[in-house]
Amino acid sequence: MLQERSVVLIGAGNVATGLGCALHRRGIPVSQVFSRTQESARALAEKIGAEAVSSWELLRNDADLYIVSLPDEVMTREVSRIAKGREHALLVHTAGSVPMQVWEGYTARYGVLYPLQTFSKAREIDLSRVPLFIEANSPQDTLFLREWASELSEQVYEADSDQRKALHLSAVFACNFVNHLYAIADEWLESHGLPFEALLPLIDETARKVHTLSPRQAQAGPAVRHDEATIQVHLKALEGLPEWQQLYERLSRDIQDMDREKQNTLII
Amino acid sequence: MLQERSVVLIGAGNVATGLGCALHRRGIPVSQVFSRTQESARALAEKIGAEAVSSWELLRNDADLYIVSLPDEVMTREVSRIAKGREHALLVHTAGSVPMQVWEGYTARYGVLYPLQTFSKAREIDLSRVPLFIEANSPQDTLFLREWASELSEQVYEADSDQRKALHLSAVFACNFVNHLYAIADEWLESHGLPFEALLPLIDETARKVHTLSPRQAQAGPAVRHDEATIQVHLKALEGLPEWQQLYERLSRDIQDMDREKQNTLII
């Protein structure tokens, strides 16, 4: 049944590529890939056996499902152009922080399919283990989207636009900001002639640990131990880099604040 | 040969417990565990078939190797007590940011054995995959420590005290601070009725990604995309929590600064 639905991908960036490749591997055909850049459209389309188009005029009208993975501001700007003439179809976007209502007034059947994962063209993602959060403007399409998404992932949940925004914000902390801390560690090690690879077992264990302990329980390090001597040694080492020094101080203070709160909760 | 060396552990915290259990599993006997708290000493000693002591007077004098995993300030305060009468033995501490010279003047043979990993009593660590950084005050003991440590881990490296401090500082960013970002994400999700578990596939992929891409190459998210609309949506959502709002702003600006540097490097 799913295989009979005709799917079009609008966008050819990291998320569109991740979704497109996952659909292809599941045997769900994508008939067309649209990107404003012909080269990007072609790169993804070739991988998944779809037609590549880069002009809005050539975008098919007869698909059943349109998945829109464009940069947020482009998507918001082009919503009328995407919707026009496709009122019969279900249109979904994949953005964490764009409300479903962005579609309202432009088309009849719409929703959101938000994969909570970080995608890069350089890495293949196993979508079956990626939580997919869905939302649609009718119970029928919610049901359809749930069934359709369940073919791709073992973890499909409904989330309204507020919950999705909360998920996205938490993902920025737990992924994008985390990666930036890796980048700081990388630069610091490099400037001391040490390889970033030495940190990988620690990075892996830090991620694994929160599978079985809550992040609060898992917290370790000089800040939560109130090891002021080490904190001072580190702040002194960061003296030439005031931004990282301030970041170190702020995060350490924040860890101590959160720990104090936890203690207070336990006492009360 | 290694099995014949007599080892004493001074300390019974997370690191001592991690090391002690790993030694035990490798069949390397630990004759005694010292902790200032008899209960902690006994808990670890029982696990690894050692004698538990909590009085300095009962600490053995006849071991070949003493591994000291005490809180930094305790270790620094007690160094003379630990060394006295044990000048024949090799004494090593396991602290990232305490220089090897802390031993100087107190004993003849000394060094450091620094495991770059996060330990908790609740989790068993496979030490064979933990990088161990060693330092000793003589070539003979460096060689001995290298051979001895190689029985425990596939990754044994020499690092002087400055390099070890750099490793420790980078570990604070890549582990302790990273875990705190997980904790923020956890709290944020909880306050929106969402389970932290939904983030685990993202957290895992974020860690896996830097095995094959450098953290700079792996950087994703609204900041590096200069997606100001999303950044503003998130800052507004954090309005009631000025500390996390400021942290969001600082980290986003820092990501953009680092990205700009990268661009400049590419142009030059």
Phi and psi dihedrals of B134, rounded to 5? -115, 155
Q: Give whole-number Cα distances, A161 to A87, A136, B187, B191, in Å.
A: 22, 10, 19, 15
Interatomic CA distance for residues B262 and B268, integer angstroms: 10
Query: How far is residue B165 from each of residues A166, A228, B15, measured CA to CA in Å?
Result: 37, 15, 17
* Sequence letter at residue A128: S
Q: Which two tokens stand for residue A110?
A: 């719409």
Residue B175: per-residue pLDDT: 98
What span, in angstroms and rounded, lies between the C-alpha atoms of B58 and A159?
61
Taking each helix axis from N to C end, the angle separating A178-191 and B200-209, rounded to the nearest 10 degrees, works out to 20
Query: For residues A197 and B44, what is the distance between their CA atoms, to the nearest angstrom?
Result: 31
Is pLDDT above 70 for B137? yes
Q: Name which of B4, B105, B5 is nearest B65 in CA terms.
A: B5
Angle among Cα B197, B203, B205 to the nearest 5 degrees reads 125
**Both ends of chain B: CA-CA distance in Å?**
56
Chain CA centroid to CA A110, Å: 20
Most confident of A3-7, B76-80, B263-267: B76-80
Q: Are B67 and B8 contacting, i.e. CB atoms less than 8 angstroms apart?
A: yes
pLDDT of res. A266: 57
> Alpha helices, DSSP H only, in chain A?
14-25, 38-48, 72-83, 139-150, 161-171, 178-191, 200-212, 215-218, 228-237, 242-267
Which one, of B95, B122, B190, lies nearest residue A208 by Cα? Answer: B122
> What number is the average pLDDT over the span B171-195?
97
**pLDDT interval class at B120 (50, 70, 90):** confident
CA separation for the pair A167, A97 (Å, rounded): 9
Single-letter amino acid code for the residue at A34:
F
CB neighbours of A4 closer than 8 A, spacing ≥ 6? none
User: With contacts defined as CB-CB under 8 Å, which chain B residues touch A198?
Assistant: 116, 131, 155, 157, 167
Cα–Cα distance, B221 to A168 (Å, whole number): 10
Residues A220, B114, A246: CA angle, nearest 5 degrees: 45
Tokens of B224: 């590096």
Three-state DSSP at A239 gives: coil
What gap in Å lies between CA A88 and CA A108, rounded to an integer?
Answer: 7
State both tokens at A96: 């964490």
How much is the pLDDT for B263? 76
Higher pLDDT, B79 or B1: B79
Averaged pLDDT score across all residues of chain B: 94
Digit-coded pLDDT (tens) for B38-56: 999 999 999 999 999 999 9
β-pair type (B110-115, B132-136):
antiparallel
* Separation between Cα atoms, residue B67 and residue B89, nearest integer Å: 11
For B229, the enclosing helix (H) or strand (E) is helix B228-237
3-state secondary structure of A90: strand
Phi-psi region of A49 (alpha: psi -120 to 50; beta: other; left: phi over 0): left
Give percent of chain B above pLDDT 90. Answer: 92
Nearest of B113, B169, B226, B214 to residue A202 by alpha carbon: B169
Contact (CB<8Å) A247/B248: no
- Scan residues 170-229 of B and list those with Cβ closer than 8 Å to A: 170-186, 188-189, 192-194, 196, 198-207, 209-225, 227, 229
- Chain A touched by B94 (CB under 8 Å): no
Query: What is the rounded CA–CA span in Å between residue B213 and residue A199?
Result: 14
User: How far lies B47's CA from each of A127, A180, B113, B119, in Å?
Assistant: 42, 39, 22, 16
Beta bridge pairs of residue B53: B34
Is the CB of B215 less than 8 angstroms away from the CB of A196? Answer: yes
pLDDT of B3 strictly over 60: no
Phi, psi at A66, each rounded to 5°? -115, 125
Write phi, then psi, for B3 (nearest 5 degrees). -60, -20
Q: A49 in contact with B at a CB cutoff of 8 Å?
A: no
- Cβ within 8 Å of B, A 27-46: none
Under an 8 A CB cutoff, do A131 and B165 touch? no
Look at residue B266 and tell me whether its pLDDT is greater than 70: no
Q: Which two tokens stand for residue B148?
A: 């001895």
Residue with tokens 């685990």: B200
Element (H, E) at A65: strand A65-68
What is the secondary structure of A12-43 as a DSSP string? -SHHHHHHHHHHHHTT--EEEEE-SSHHHHHH
Give Cα B123 distance to the centre of its chain: 14
End-to-end CA distance of chain A: 56
CB atoms within 10 A of CB A197: 12
| Residue listed under structure tokens 């917290």 | A219
DSSP state of A123: B
Longest dimension (CA), chain B: 67
Question: Quick one: how far is CA A93 from the chain centroid?
Answer: 13
Say yes or no: B161 contacts chain A, CB-CB below 8 A.
Answer: no
B123/A222 Cβ within 8 A = no
Q: Which residue has the tokens 């029985």?
A: B151
Query: Could you tell me if A130 lies within 8 Å of chain B, comparing CB atoms?
Result: yes
The answer to whether residues B85 and B61 touch, using CB atoms and an 8 Å cutoff, is yes
Mark yes or no for CB contact B219/A180 under 8 Å: yes
Query: In chain A, which residues have pLDDT < 50?
Result: none
- Does B74 contact A at CB distance below 8 Å? no
Q: Does the pLDDT at position B1 exceed 60?
A: no
How many residues are there in chain B? 268
Instruction: List chain B residues with CB under 8 Å of A172.
Output: 221-222, 234, 248
